[in-house]
Amino acid sequence: MGLRKLGERKIIKLLTSRLRRSLGMISDFDDDAASFRFSGKMVATTDMGSMGTHFTNADPAKIGRKIITSNATDLLSKGAIPKYALVSMGFPESTKMEWLEKMYAAMDTQLSQYDAFLIGGDTNKASEFAYSVAMLGEAKGSILKRSSAEEGDCLVLTGNIGSAAAGYLIRKKGFKATAAEKREFFQAQDDPKINAALCKKIWPQAHAGIDVSDGLAFELNEIARLSGKKIVVEWEKIPRSPMLEKFCKRNGLNEEKIALNYGEDYQIVFTTPNAEHGIIIGRVEKGKGVFLKRKGKLKKIQSKGYEHFKSN
């Protein structure tokens, strides 16, 4: 059913009627503000985007999951577990109600893995699909900043990078891929998976954290700059899909550039003095800048000039 016939009140009723409800929630979904009890260190993040620039296809479930993931990784990188989300949406009147319901169901399911809840938001008419999510989380331990990396820390990553970029290059630039590559890379691009249980294991000893949504090179430069440290990352240790090298060779692509300069993988890099969990990819040292060690040679990695395909 189209939105024009429904009106805002019915739209909200349909969208919220099947959402899980937090026991801590005091207010009703149809009120102007959401309220809940909280005590502790709250971490809040917000993200805004539009259909044109942030998504490559229009599957509502994938969009719903990705919207939640991109905010959740911001919190997880700071040492916080997602608790509540406020989701605002703008959509053209021609949008189908079923499409929106699928997206909200997907957001709700995605939040449920953290035991987090969608508690409020705002709906608007808009000429193109646009969204804004505010997500609130709770940190039991220290807040992991970009600026708090310490000399001697290990650099720890939570999963593969480069796959989302490969998915983008296949879809948008027409590069050749096998069926298996497409399956894996599209999955990474549409449905980034972040291991919250692994993050929780890393947090207690970690010093700094950042998600690699804007590319590893850019994010490591942010940590190095704001912490006033040097970072050395080892190429051979960076976790990548076994298919990435072949895909790059076949298409004459620079694998290093794809793994380091593209983004959207939504993995998290932490710095921690005792790296018992996660994949160690390098080290924080005294000095300045970010360097890649490959076959024993050091090369400076620039923050500038990264190709952030979100805005392409």
How far apart are the C-alpha atoms of 38 and 22, rounded to whole Å? 12
From 5, 23, 39, 296, residue interacting with a second copy (rule: CB under 8 A):
39
| C-alpha torsion 203→207→208→211, nearest 10 | -20
Identify residues 3-32 at the interface with a second copy (CB under 8 A).
26-28, 30-32
Is 270 a binder of a second copy (CB under 8 A)?
no
Q: How far apart are CA 154 and CA 114, in angstroms?
A: 27
CB 146 within 8 A of CB 249: no
Closest residue by Cα to residue 284 from 202, 205, 225: 225
84, 175, 203, 235: residue in contact with a second copy (rule CB under 8 A):
84
Give the neighbor-by-neighbor strand order of the sheet with 81-91. 117-125, 81-91, 130-139
* Alpha-carbon distance values, 190 to 56, 67, 209, 261 (Å): 8, 10, 23, 19
Nearest to 92 by CA among 58, 141, 117, 120: 58
Q: Would you give the DSSP letter of residue 153? A: P
With CB under 8 A as the contact rule, which of the stretches 48-56, 98-106, 273-281, 287-295 interacts with a second copy? 48-56
Tell which one of 64, 120, 159, 162 touches a second copy (CB under 8 A).
120
For a second copy, the closer CB: 60 or 137: 137
Nearer to a second copy by C-beta: 72 or 177? Answer: 72
Residues 125-154 that bind a second copy (CB under 8 A): 125-126, 130, 132, 134, 136-137, 139, 143, 145-147
Binding residues among 88-117 for a second copy as defined by CB under 8 A: 88-90
Number of residues that bind a second copy (CB under 8 A): 56
Q: Which of 13, 17, 46, 276 binds a second copy (CB under 8 A)?
A: 46
Q: In this structure, is the dihedral angle defined by the CA atoms of residues 307, 309, 310 and 311, taken in order, positive or negative?
A: positive
The nearest distance, CB 50 to a second copy, in angstroms, is 7
207 to 226, contacts with a second copy by CB under 8 A? 210-211, 226
Which of these ranges, 118-126, 159-167, 169-177, 181-189, lies near a second copy under the rule CB under 8 A?
Answer: 118-126
Of residues 231, 241, 311, 302, the one with CA closest to residue 270: 231
Among residues 225, 191, 194, 193, the alpha carbon closest in space to that of 208 is found at 225
Question: Which residue stretch of 77-85, 108-116, 187-195, 287-295 sits at the interface with a second copy (rule: CB under 8 A)?
Answer: 77-85
Q: Whose Cβ is closer to a second copy: residue 92's or residue 249's? A: 92
Q: Which is nearer to a second copy, 52 or 296 (CB)?
A: 52
**Residue number, 1 or 48, with CB nearest to a second copy:** 48
Which candidate, 217, 213, 222, places its Cα nearest to that of 301?
Answer: 217
| Residues sharing a CB contact under 8 Å with residue 7, sequence separation 6 or more, in sequence order | none
Of the pair 138, 181, the CB lying nearest a second copy is at 138
Interface residue with a second copy among 11, 65, 69, 77 (CB under 8 A) is 77
Please give the Cα distance from 149 to 272 (Å, whole number): 8
Binding site for a second copy (CB under 8 A): 26-28, 30-50, 53, 74-75, 77-78, 80, 84, 86, 88-90, 119-122, 124-126, 130, 132, 134, 136-137, 139, 143, 145-147, 210-211, 226, 311
